Amino acid sequence: MTAISVGLVLVVSSFLGALLWSALAAILFQPLYQRLLGYWPGRRNRAALVALLIITVAIVLPSLIVSSMVVDQAAGVYTQIRSGQINIASYFEKIHDALPIRLQQMLDSAGFGSFERAKTQVVEAVSNSASLLAGRALSIGANAAAFLLAFGVGLYVTFFLLRDGERLGPAIVRGLPLEQSVATRIADQFVSVARATIKGSVVVALVQGALGAATFWIVGLPAALLWGVLMAIAALLPAIGPTIIWAPVAVYLLATSAYWQAGVVVASGMLVIGLADNILRPMLVGRDTGIPDWLVLVTTLGGVELVGLSGIVVGPIAGALFITGWSILTEKRLGDPAGTDGAPIRDDARARS
C-alpha cells in the first residue's frame, strides 16, 4: 500500500501545489459552502459552484491582478537599476552622511572594513535580488501554459472538495493506519492550524501589506505596491514583521530631509500597521494555535525554502503536527488514557474556525 501511495504522489507531483491550495481553500470555505447549501437544500453542485465563483471573484482574480502589477514594478525597478536611474549607492551615501560623525566612524570600523565595502556589498545584494525578481517574472511568462493548467486543475479539484469534503474528511481519517482517537486528533490539529495560518497570518499579512503600500504611495515612494508586497511577506514572520521594511524607509526619508514623509511612515507603521495584527488576529482566529513564535518563524522560512510559496502554510502545519505527535507519544508513555480510549481530548491550542 505504501508503494502504491508513493506511486500516486509521483504521478501527481506536478500538481501537488495546486492540490494543496485546493484542499486549503476547501477547508477554509467549507462554512460558506454549508451556508449556501442551507439556501438550496440538496443542491450540492449548485452550492459548490456558487462558492467556487465567490472564491474566484473575491480572491483569485484580485490576486492575479496584483501579482501582475508587482511583477511589472519589479521588472521596472530592475531596469532602472541597470540603467543607472536608481543609484542605490547614492542613497546609502546620503544616509551615511546624515548620521552623526561618531556613528559614521562606528559603521566604518565595524567588521566591514570600511563603509565603502559595506555599501558595495549591499548594492550588489539588492541588484542581485532585483535580477532574481525579473528572471522569475520571465520564467512565469515562459511557463504560462503550465501555470494555467495547474490553475485549472486547482479550481476543478476545489469544486469537488467543497462538495464532498464532509464525506471525504472522515473517510480519510478512518483510513489512516492509526488509532481512531489519535487520527482524529491529528486531523483536527491539521484543520485548525491550516485555518489559523490562512486567516490569522496570511490575511493579516495582506492587510498590513496593503496598508504599507498605501502609506508608501502617500509619501511618494516609487514602486509602492512592490514595497507593500515585501511588507506582507515580512509580516508572515513573527519576531520580524513589517517593521523590517518600513523602518529602513523611514530612516532613509529622515536622512534625505523628507521629514513629514518620514513622520507619516513612522506613524503609520506604529499606529496603523503595527496595531492591525493585534486587532485583526483575535477577530479572525479567536485563539492562537499554541505554536511558539520561534517555531512558526523557523518552519515558515524552512517551508518556503523547501516548497516555495506553499511553505507559508506547509511549514507551520508541519510544526503543529510535530508537537501534536510528540504530545500523543508522551501521553501514551505516561499511561494517560487521553487520546487512547476514544475519550474526548481537551485541546486548548485548537483555533476556532
pLDDT at 353: 41
pLDDT at 339: 46
Lowest mean pLDDT of 6-20, 125-139, 255-269, 307-321, name the range: 125-139
Which is nearest to 44 in space by CA: 174, 168, 192, 198?
168
Tell me: the pLDDT tens digits for 238-270? 667 788 888 888 887 887 778 888 899 889 888
Alpha-carbon 215 to chain mean position? 21
Q: In this model, does residue 349 exceed pLDDT 50?
A: no
- Best-predicted range by mean pLDDT among 103-107, 254-258, 332-336? 254-258
- What grid cell was written down for 325? 505527535
- Best-predicted range by mean pLDDT among 16-25, 226-235, 242-251, 262-271? 262-271
Q: Give the mean model confidence (pLDDT) for residues 188-215.
A: 83
Angle formed by the axes of helices 311-333 and 16-28, to 10°? 70
Are the C-beta atoms of residues 304 and 312 closer than 8 Å to each other?
yes
* Cβ burial, residue 316 (10 Å; 0-12/13-18/19+): buried
- What grid cell was written down for 307? 516548497
pLDDT at 113: 41
Which is nearest to 189 in space by CA: 44, 8, 316, 274?
316
Question: How far is it, in rounded angstroms, from Cα 129 to Cα 123?
Answer: 10
Contacts by residues 12-20 (CB-CB < 8 Å, ≥ 24 positions apart): 14/146, 14/150, 15/150, 15/153, 15/154, 17/150, 17/307, 17/308, 17/309, 17/310, 18/150, 18/151, 18/153, 18/154, 18/157, 19/153, 19/154, 19/157, 20/310, 20/313, 20/314
φ, ψ dihedrals at 165, nearest 5°: -60, -40
Question: How far is it, in rounded angstroms, from Cα 253 to Cα 317?
Answer: 39
Question: How far is it, in rounded angstroms, from Cα 281 to Cα 327?
Answer: 26
Query: 266: part of which helix (H) or strand (E)?
Result: helix 259-267
Question: How far is it, in rounded angstroms, from Cα 11 to Cα 102?
Answer: 62
Give 72's pLDDT tier (boundaries 50, 70, 90).
confident
- Best-predicted range by mean pLDDT among 20-34, 195-209, 226-240, 309-323? 20-34
- What grid cell was written down for 323? 508537537
Longest dimension (CA), the chain: 75
Task: Quote the mean pLDDT of the chain.
Answer: 75
Residue 327's contacts (CB-CB under 8 Å, 6 or more residues apart) are: none
pLDDT at 346: 43
pLDDT at 109: 64
Q: In this model, does residue 274 exceed pLDDT 50?
A: yes
- What grid cell was written down for 30? 467549507
Q: How many CB atoms lie within 10 A of CB 26?
A: 25
Cα angle 150, 156, 158; round to 5: 100
